[in-house]
């Protein structure tokens, strides 16, 4: 299963937020979307999920996303916004159940997600009463619960931004599980080291244009990142055998 973006262009009035982007994301792999602020990441992700008006075409296995009936699309495509609404006067469980029609509820799946994302003890609390990090984990659980079809497309805009390190790692392990289960996972992330660590492929954006795409070890490299972000990066060898990217610093 493949998500393909064909000549995607999106505008806000006279401002071109995304300009003629061609990119693909494959099932079984995590694609990280990286770039400076205002690079067009959020706009591109909304386009990919079929939520943002744009020129060009988005397809899943050759089928235009916008041609998929809305009911079927809700079962196959899930999107998690960067800033979920936190003022909805619903309990955690009520919010979760809104992800599916009544006749398609699967309590065992719902319970498993709440437990594995460590929000089970919050299920009867009102969402506005939770911390921002807790709210984000609840919305992540709801997003994962939404897709019923095998595989599916999951698009996340900065899903771990307000989470503490433990819960960010927990969330990302869930996304790895989704990819390993045959899903297409696309997410934006500002932490370059984390992006290199958890991503299989990367889209590098700047000023609405796609600078590079492909395996993370080819896209997220110090020379290219310095040209994009304007600061030097270095590759660090992890004791566990992996490569970590970090801004290069010097002691004064």
Q: Name residues whose C-beta falls within 8 Å of residue 250's C-beta, 6 or more positions apart in sequence.
A: none
DSSP codes, 174-237: HHHHHHHTT-EEEEE-S-HHHHHHH-SEEEEEETTEEEEEEEHHHHS-HHHHHHHHSS-EEEEE
Per-residue pLDDT of the chain (252 residues), as tens digits, is: 899 999 999 999 999 999 999 999 999 999 999 999 999 999 999 999 999 999 999 999 999 999 999 999 999 999 999 887 778 899 999 999 999 999 999 999 999 999 999 999 999 999 999 999 999 999 999 999 999 877 899 999 999 988 999 999 999 999 999 999 999 999 999 999 899 999 999 999 999 999 999 999 999 999 999 999 999 999 888 776 677 788 887 554
All domains in the chain, ordered by first residue: 2-247 (3.40.50.300)
β-bridge partners, 64: 59
Angle at 65 (CA atoms; ends 210, 74), nearest 5 degrees: 115
pLDDT at residue 251, rounded to an integer: 53
- Beta strand pairing status for 153-157 and 63-64? unpaired
**C-alpha dihedral sign at 112, 116, 120, 122:** negative
DSSP-assigned letter for residue 87: -
Measured CA distances, 22 to 115, 190, 206 (Å): 38, 22, 14
Among candidate residues 245, 185, 160, the one with its CA nearest the CA of residue 32 = 185
Among candidate residues 25, 79, 30, the one with its CA nearest the CA of residue 50 = 79
């Amino acid at each position: 299963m493949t998500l393909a973006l064909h000549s995607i262009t999106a505008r806000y009035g006279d401002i071109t937020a995304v300009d003629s982007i061609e990119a693909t994301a494959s099932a079984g792999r995590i694609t990280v979307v990286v770039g400076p602020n205002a690079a067009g990441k959020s706009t591109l992700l909304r386009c990919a999920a079929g939520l943002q008006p744009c020129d060009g075409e988005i397809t899943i296995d050759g089928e235009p996303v916008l041609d998929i009936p809305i009911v079927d699309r809700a079962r196959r495509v899930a999107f998690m916004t960067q800033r979920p609404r936190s003022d909805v006067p619903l309990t955690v469980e009520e919010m979760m159940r809104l992800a599916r029609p009544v006749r398609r509820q699967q309590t065992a799946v719902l319970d498993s997600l709440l437990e594995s994302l460590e929000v089970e003890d919050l299920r009867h609390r009102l969402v506005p009463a939770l911390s921002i990090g807790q709210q984000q984990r609840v919305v992540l659980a709801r997003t994962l619960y939404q897709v019923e079809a095998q595989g599916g497309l999951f698009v996340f805009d900065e899903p771990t931004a307000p989470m503490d390190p433990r819960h960010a790692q927990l969330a990302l392990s869930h996304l790895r599980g989704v990819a390993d289960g045959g899903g297409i996972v696309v997410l934006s992330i500002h932490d370059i080291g984390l992006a290199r660590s958890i991503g299989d492929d990367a889209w590098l954006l700047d000023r609405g244009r796609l600078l590079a795409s492909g395996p993370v070890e080819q896209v997220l490299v110090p020379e290219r990142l310095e040209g994009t972000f304007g600061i030097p990066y270095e590759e660090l060898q992890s004791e566990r055998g992996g490569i970590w990217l970090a801004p290069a610093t010097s002691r004064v």
